[in-house]
Every structure is written in structure tokens, then in C-alpha cells.
Structure 1
Amino acid sequence: MRRMIGFILFWMGIGMLVMLLLASRLLGLLLVALFLILGYNLFCS
């Protein structure tokens, strides 16, 4: 369980770094929505 939480926190940090580097707010929101849907489908199916 600790490894999975660490993995999740690591990728959340990478995502925050990417959002800092993106200039477009709309593109960032679209990426967030895409990754949430993709992650839900991969985790729950």
C-alpha cells in the first residue's frame, strides 16, 4: 500500500510540474479531464 501511495504522489507531483509549464489554461483542463477519465477506466475495469 505504501508503494502505491508513493507512486501516486510521485505522478501527482509530475502533473503539477507540467501544469506550471503549460501556458494555456484550457489545454491544462482538457489534459486533466482526459487523464481522469483514462485513469478511471484503467483502474476500475
Structure 2
Amino acid sequence: MKRIIGYTLFWIAIGMLLALFLPNILVAVLTITLLLIGYNIFCSC
């Protein structure tokens, strides 16, 4: 289950990377946070 959650968070973050073209610092921080959390959950097996 942790791998599925990590995988989902990782791809949500990838999708949000497309939204980085907007000049919004909150989106950038949220994207980086989700990317790191998703990667750590998915790869910590």
C-alpha cells in the first residue's frame, strides 16, 4: 500500500510540474514537497 501511495504522490507531483509555468511560489513548494515524499515512500522498500 505504501508503494501505491508513493507512486500516486510522485505522479501528482509530476503533473504539478506542468503548473510551474504559473508564477506562484506555493505551487513550486508543494510540487517539490510531493515529489520528495512520493519518491521516498515509493523507494523505501
Larger radius of gyration: 1
Q: Which has the higher contact order (CA 8 A, sep 6+)?
A: 2
